Amino acid sequence: MNESATASMSPVDGASHPLLTVNGIEVIYNHVILVLKGVSLTVPRGGIVALLGANGAGKTTTLRAVSNLLRGERGEVTKGSIEYDGQRVEQLSPYDLVRRGVVQVMEGRRCFAHLTIEENLLTGAFTGSAARRGPSADLLERVYHYFPRLKHRRTSLAGYTSGGEQQMCAIGRALMARPSMILLDEPSMGLAPQVVAEIFGIVRDLNEREGVSFLLAEQNAHIALRYARHGYILESGRVVMDGDASSLESNEDVKEFYLGLSRDGRRSFRDAKFYRRRKRWLA
């Protein structure tokens, strides 16, 4: 990679304010269904923050609230505020947010199955800060540097590649927009543990070498807390616990209800009583 390409995505020095601040937001679907109930979180510039919780806890809705993709699902933020880089962004369009540097990688990968891997990647260059310049050979090679498997499969139709390759393609396509922040939704879903570790390792490299901040929603608390620096746990649309990753990983409640461990050894999540952890966390 040449020096100009590297400089465009170099780590940014820490700032006095967080890159992303979500302050007490409520989200309602179809004007009736209250999904998020006062969710607050921050993502520091250059940080990796994990949003943990079971299926249906509100993780994806939180990401969609940040990226302003709720309207396509008949949802809206009815209370609270969302600030990105010190400015309110709730009323911006998803396109405007991408141009400011916020890109979401959707759950389920969402590649264009009928396009090749390389064609999928190039579509990302027509959004965000890269839109004015269009596709760049240096930018494409940078993606291939982090995802060498994609370079090998560059001419393959995305629909005929593995789940792991499709996830890498989705993240690589996001990088083509030159983002400052990536919202990553369930990156481990349906993938083998070895592939999950490879993808999270690339996320860490992108964070450390390129300065890309990540807010990742994940059910796999063990892998998420290994790579994140801070975490928030959602239950039924509320943040019930947060802290640095090491403290959450050592917390007895988290170990029991999300890592399947307790003082008595490994146990099944189905053995845990929902009302019991609600009582302990929300009392």
Residue 48 lies in a domain: yes
Tally of structural domains, the chain:
1
pLDDT category of residue 269 using cuts at 50, 70 and 90: very low
Return the higher-pLDDT residue of 103 and 14. Answer: 103
Residue 7 lies in a domain: no
Letter for the amino acid at 84? Y
What's the CATH code of the domain at 69?
Answer: 3.40.50.300
Percent residues over pLDDT 70 in the chain: 82
Residue 136 lies in a domain: no
Residue 68 lies in a domain: yes
Query: How much is the pLDDT for 268?
Result: 47
Residue 63 lies in a domain: yes
Residue 216 lies in a domain: yes
> Domain range spanning residue 48?
18-110+179-250
How confident is the model over 9-23, as pLDDT tens digits?
434 444 457 999 999
How confident is the model over 177-195, as pLDDT tens digits?
999 999 999 999 888 999 9
Residue 201 lies in a domain: yes
Residue 117 lies in a domain: no
